[in-house]
Structure 1
């Protein structure tokens, strides 16, 4: 028999017309649970108030109107816990701790805040995680740097490891908690690409004026889901995954087919703006980003010549490298350097090759 437990302690009182709910959430072993979605519902509210537990498992609501409140604790891979009949008074800080048990299948148990503590089972066998294979040709479009699409592209983030709460660095086959759930459109078997932003250019600028690039850590696949959170497994790693990395829906690209060489258009060059992990130099087989995208006529598979002018913009072109576009966005493209006679550096010019008209 499994049990879900809520612990209501004596209320504290503070100045003011409103009250607050606060507490800590742990698992059946007593370890703290970050990333738990805590939903507070009341007739006095226009809609649910949702807060998420921090790295120490703590949560704290914004100020709430006095009256009856219901609270639900939800985290993918754990049994959902609900509490009804919490009477919040003006100026009260109501402390409500919760303990969640692992659940192989989604299960909801309702208890009231005054339910007496019960001893949880001391051990539980964790189910083996099964994932669907990702086609090899789709993986070719996962890795590499790019210009961020904007905050709206991110659906959520990695909260942490499901079983090892102290870890912040993850890799192949690790089981992670995400703050994306059914209400955000997540579903079991869905693949998310994991991104991480970094600063580029002048790093002395204030953050509001800084420029950013992004790297792809790899792919995670959703294996368990709740309304506002999910459990996912790392199925493909380009590099390290960190707590706080953002997740976006994975949209695989078709297999790359490089175009014929064409003619380099030196009179209208693009520029190298950054490399992998924000590096300012690149070499053969490495990826870099240019400031030309679909809006400027760039196409996936298009061949490029990286070049410099011999002396201060005058004289013959000095070819630095040959490259190909492997991914393209509206105003930028990711290129792969195929051959180079020198290191490719930020600021180098890039001539896109055009095919002659048929």
Structure 2
């Protein structure tokens, strides 16, 4: 699916009068407004993280994207078409063809093996038995469970069960992955491994991933962009670096108050607009050159080991400027 996912002035209220206006929803004592006037666009091929604390509306938002929850007001647009225009058959076909979900609870069948669980989405879609098992096995091998095909969920650790859930989505090979707090039940080390795996898979084959999280460190680590939500409102949507450097309101700044700047800022944001040497030659094999997209935490050991300022170049390899240990120290002390 190459079309972006769009939400336009979307509201979701549980309770209240059907057809009520936004003002009436907010004033009604019978209504709980879970999502308020959210407009955003998820670009094709990006990891888009919706981040917020419990009750912020992020999971409701996710379920409106695949039609499990119907907006009270506003439009959700999938494949260039408003979702409310899909009939039930078209909506089922959309989910089977274009969307897979990965849940926090793993959602595995206890009586089925890892292989059978990974093949379940293909079974529902009517893929022949031998073909779906072959695809499921390939997916399990890719997530590191090639030796555990016939084990049942109760014979697997939490991290392994989550890998089976991810393999089921990979075997289905849908262009959109919807991941609802997929790693939050895992301990920190396993969660980091799963984040690494997701990033590796995305580098191999880009999908559109909408990832729900309440963990800002996780959002910063995996998200191309982050939508910050609070009490049903969208506070701001942008890259982690922009949210950190230019918060739109105090609540955004508060979210980022404890974040390590070295894990958010890129070299392009701090590079000084001067060449690393007077006779700078990009073809010099002895010259250290770093990408403007590199995070400070990745660049620090390289810059520290260099004999002098290090060149920073953009995507088209043109010189943006240079950084030195002092440049990084100044950026981290702001």
What's the TM-score bracket when you normalise by the shorter of the two chains? under 0.3
Whichever structure has more strand as a proportion of its residues is: 1
Report the TM-score when normalising by structure 2. 0.26
Q: TM-score, normalised by structure 1?
A: 0.25
Larger RCO: Structure 1 or Structure 2 (Cα < 8 Å, ≥ 6 residues apart)?
Answer: 2
**Structure (1 or 2) with the greater helix fraction:** 2
Q: Report the structure number with the largest CA radius of gyration.
A: 1
